Amino acid sequence: MAKILVAASPEPRVILERILAGHELCGVETMAQAEQCLRERTFALILCTIVFDESRMFDLLRLAKSRPEWQQIPFVCARLRHHILDSPLALQAVAFTCQALGAVAFLNIAEYQVNPEREMRDAIEQVLDPPSR
């Protein structure tokens, strides 16, 4: 069981709570809440959705990577609702920006076909426990 900061509005957070059942989650809806949680607790992962706090995902990513005490926490950006950024070019730009700013992954639930929630959980688990080489 890992401690995960989940930065998301209520609707996608409910989905992430279901996907990440069994992990210890700290759900936040605003930048201020996220920063407070990061100051008070230690996390194995930060998971942030595109529309967190009125589309401030990149702001949280920059904040996490700017502080020495948080830089090593893997940061995963996620898209959970199909109607958000439905342009392939926009999604490609978001994925590129996530990588450029230091995120370990941009997970798009629409890319998973068989069991999207299970496949997204598997991708998150790989970030938490990468296969040894």
pLDDT in tens, 65-88: 999 999 999 999 999 977 676 788
From CA 9, how far away is CA 29, in angstroms rounded? Answer: 5
Regarding the domain delimited by 3-123, which CATH topology (the fold level of the hierarchy) does it fall under? Rossmann fold (3.40.50)
Q: What pLDDT tens digit does each residue of the chain (133 aa) get?
A: 899 999 999 989 999 999 999 999 999 999 999 999 999 999 999 999 998 999 999 999 999 999 999 999 999 999 997 767 678 898 899 999 999 999 999 999 988 888 999 999 999 999 998 776 5
Six token digits for residue 104: 């370990």
Alpha carbon dihedral 32, 22, 80, 76, in 10-degree steps, equals 60
